[in-house]
Amino acid sequence: MLAALRGLHSGLTGGLPVLASLAAARRLPRSGQGPAQARRFVAATLGGWDLAGLADDAMLIITELALNAIEHGRSCFTVSLARAAGGVRIAVGDGSPAPPRRGGGPQPSRAGGLDVVDAFAAGWGHDVLPGGKLVWADLPTAEGGRR
């Protein structure tokens, strides 16, 4: 699955990074409503692809990525999804080129964060791109298997 998802990066939506071979993308505000809007968008997209079985894991992942974009990216953010053989890639783009980090920093990290993404995704990473960065996570479909 991961090989099928490589090379999906990157395009721009409103100056922020998105997956290049995306099937769905949305630009969302840097506000308390952003994560809820991201969850609704991801759930609707997965439902439209007959992949509602991925929704629980996807909701946990998108919430963490959206919160990180708001807190650390300090910008509005994009959510994009791409479907490939064996899986779905979910990505969040923000206006900061700073790579995502687990914990550390000047303030203790809130519970969850990238550890949640790591626990529920088959793989995740980031790419620094023009306009910011794209943090992505891969979810396998039933035929794609789990890591």
| pLDDT, tens only, 11-35 | 444 556 676 666 788 888 777 888 9
pLDDT score at 90: 95
> 79 pairs with which residues across the strands?
26, 92
Task: Collect all residues with Cβ–Cβ distance below 8 Å to 17 and sequence separation of at least 6.
Answer: 9, 10, 11, 78, 91, 93, 127, 129, 130, 131, 132, 133, 134
d(CA 48, CA 144): 19
| pLDDT, tens only, 108-145 | 444 568 888 999 999 999 999 888 999 999 999 875 55
